[in-house]
Amino acid sequence: MTDQLFTIGSGRNGTKSMATILSTVYRPSFHEYRQLLKERRRTYLHAGFKGPQLRAKIKKYKQFGSFHDSDNCNTVFIQHLCKAFPEAKVLLPIGSPISFIRAHHVWGIMGPKDRNTDTRIYPTDGRWKHWPVVVKLAWLWGKRNVEAIKRSDRNRLLVFRTKDISARLPEIFKFIGKPLNKKAVQLAQKRHNKLEWDEAQIQATMREINQNIQHIEAIITSFKRSISIWYPGVFK
């Protein structure tokens, strides 16, 4: 049994759903609790860096003792969190890349009005600035998931598709050593954090995705290939 659990990965990949489901067995259960935006990119580029915000978060969590934290930003900090909490388990749901791209493009992430662009994961070479936003988002989806695996202690990591959460719920609860309960089963069968967008925005985004689908698929396939080396059945 573990009283300490992190859910990591990309946004729109099931972190909110897992936070909701796991709130049935963890107190407290957080979703994106105090995101460490200011330290995110520096830690991505220099995996050994542990800034004051992360140190404060670790100190606070040690006071909690028992917790579940579902935070996309934790993806680049997970190596430090695993070290600070040697008994903690890690969940990595992997969602649909097209859904991720569509949602984040409508939100404006990686676009000109993105307030947090400077903190995000992106390549340091010159190719990035020439990519359309939907291609950048395809890369971000893959890179976040790959980094989540690379930086985690894989002996404490469970990887699964977001669409399989309900079917794999018994395995998830067995992994964390908690008894499966009816409320969790019911919650796993529902959609959580469903967002409503303007239909015109969605259609415009889908046109841009379709216009760049070959580049998007090339990037996604590359990352899927890397993930499948570690977890051969995850994309079946």
- Does the residue 236 lie in any domain? no
Distances from the Cα of 20 to the Cαs of 118, 175, 207, in angstroms? 30, 17, 33
Which residue range is the domain that position 166 belongs to? Answer: 4-230
- Over residues 124-169, the pLDDT tens digits come to 888 888 999 999 999 999 999 999 999 999 999 999 999 999 999 9
- How far is residue 160's CA from residue 229's CA, in Å, rounded to a whole number? 14
**Are residues 146 and 224 in contact, defined by beta-carbon separation less than 8 angstroms?**
no
Per-residue pLDDT band at 1 (split at 50, 70, 90):
low
Average model confidence (pLDDT) across the chain: 91
* Type of residue numbered 154: R
Q: How many domains does the chain have?
A: 1
pLDDT at 12: 73
- Does the residue 78 lie in any domain? yes
DSSP class of 40: H
Contacts of 152 (CB under 8 A, 6+ apart): 8, 78, 79, 82, 90, 92
Q: Percentage of the chain surpassing pLDDT 70?
A: 97
- Does the residue 235 lie in any domain? no
- Over residues 10-68, the pLDDT tens digits come to 877 888 889 999 999 997 777 767 778 889 999 999 999 999 999 999 998 998 888 99
- Does the residue 11 lie in any domain? yes
CATH number of domain containing 72: 3.40.50
